[in-house]
Structure 1
Amino acid sequence: MAHEGKKLIPGLGTLVKIQPDEVSFQIEHQADSTATTLPELVADFNKLLAKLQAAGIMKKQ
C-alpha cells in the first residue's frame, strides 16, 4: 500500500492519514548503555521507558 508523503496509523478501528510533519516526538537524550550486568541493563532500559512515558509517547500503567 503506497501512500506518497503519508503514513497510516491505527486509530480506533480506522486508519488515520498523517503527514510526517504533523507529529513530532522528541525526548531527552538517552546515553548508550555501558551495562556489564543484567541488572545494570535493566536499569538503563527502565530509564528509557521513563523518558518515553514522560514525553507522552508511551502510556503509564
Structure 2
Amino acid sequence: MAKHVATREELERVARMYKTNSDACAALSISFKRFAELCRQFDIETPYGRKQRRKRETQRY
C-alpha cells in the first residue's frame, strides 16, 4: 500500500487548525520531522512558528 502524501492545501489547513505541531502531525499521521520538512518546502508557518511570532509581536509593545 502506498503512503499518503500530504498536499500543500492539507498542510496549510492542518497548520491553521491545530494549536500544536504534535496535534497537526497526528492529524496527518506523519512524523514531526516530515511535517517540518514539508512546511519548510511549501513555506507554511507551523503552529509552533505561529505561536512564537505572536509572542514576539506582543512583546514589542
The normalised TM-score by structure 2 is 0.26
Q: Which is bigger in relative contact order (C-alpha 8 A, separation at least 6)?
A: 2
Larger radius of gyration: 1
Select the structure that is richer in strand. 1
